[in-house]
Chains A and B, each alone.
Chain A
């Protein structure tokens, strides 16, 4: 029995990792590293703290989160730092939600495993949820916000005397676009073809990326880029290996019938169960995709699957506690409850009207 389980875990590892390392993980890690290196986080955060208009701050928070933190361990300090630096509470919680729920690494991997429809649904749902969460936090805590933000009419930033205007250079934009292409080309262009075709497409695209990088960027920056990329590999790859192994074992342990009755279809209760499951348990970035894939093969409905994809990495019990410690218990409760309600609704809606 034990051997059977270990074997199931190893097979899962072989399936996911072997098929995704070259054409999906490597370009995704390179892209994440490039974003950290070439996109000026300081600029995004400066404007986020300064944006006076609510809508503008919300849009900036949601959009910027794709770039700011691709790693869940950094998002709580980013969000609390923004909050205490004078950003509106809505914007701070949007960052807290979008960065783990829809970051570039997780989205790529979701696409490679679950297909483009699921990715688009995930992006769209994460953004809609982000705006609702931002709005709810703003409305619920509006009195407190007024008192908090009044003394600092203009958010002062002692560390930065002048506003940073540089977001990224033209060469950086081109390089990032090339990287995105090298990521999408093998997984979408050569989706139907044999595996070697994918690798070939990936190889050509990657060579182009590096030729351009060497031509357009100074050596020093390329070194930093590789350094940041290596960090992502070191942080996320081991977690991914463990995660996929555990997913393989769980897939073997879970009775198919149980999954089909509890999480199948697109009822509100299935969606709610998936949301709770995702909100409580901790998923390292990217591990949620193979987990959901396994559950779907066992009979989970696409609606609940979407709910789990969103709340899995977005929320977890340790995450609740950290949020409560930094923002206070009341805000943590409002946030968590809002996300659970929204997750359930999104899962139900997507299951009934989208898929």
Chain B
């Protein structure tokens, strides 16, 4: 599983990354977590509102810092 955090390097994006890391650990997932800073790449993904979280290339969350429950829900799928 590949989890990408799309963010411009803002504090909200780092908080998102921290929560993703935490949830991944809690669930014991085998996942690669990447933080994408490149604005061109973010735009190419058609993400307008950062922070966004993409799982295996598909954008699942955009525009707010997800709660841990929210992350658990999308990562359990």
Contacts and interface: CB of A to CB of B under 8 A. Distances in A.
Interface of B: 8-12, 39-40, 42-44, 46-50, 59, 63-65
10 contacts: A36-B64, A41-B63, A45-B49, A73-B9, A73-B11, A74-B49, A80-B39, A85-B43, A231-B65, A322-B39
- The secondary structure that dominates the A interface is helix
Q: What does DSSP make chain B's interface, helix, strand, loop or mixed?
A: loop
B43 A231 contact: no
Given A41-B63, A45-B49, A74 B44 contact: no
A81 B65 contact: no
B43 A81 contact: yes
Contacts of A50: none
A326 interface: yes
Contacts of A36: 64
Contacts of A80: 39-40, 42-43
A231 B9 CA distance: 15
A181 interface: no
A82 B12 contact: no
Contacts of B65: 227, 231
Nearest to A223: B67
A325 B39 contact: yes
What class of interface size applies to chain A in its complex with B? 20 to 34
Given A73-B10, A159-B46, A231-B11, 13 more contacts: A73-B8, A74-B12, A74-B49, A77-B49, A80-B40, A80-B43, A81-B42, A84-B46, A224-B64, A228-B64, A231-B65, A234-B11, A322-B39
B43 A78 contact: no
B39 A76 contact: yes
A77 B47 CA distance: 8
A78 B46 contact: no
Contacts of B49: 41-42, 45, 74, 77-78, 81
A60 B35 CA distance: 32
A225 B62 CA distance: 17
Contacts of B64: 36, 224, 228
A83 interface: yes
A41 B47 CA distance: 13
Contacts of A227: 65
A176 to B, nearest CB: 18
A164 to B, nearest CB: 12
A165 interface: no
A216 interface: no
A81 B8 contact: no
A81 B11 contact: no
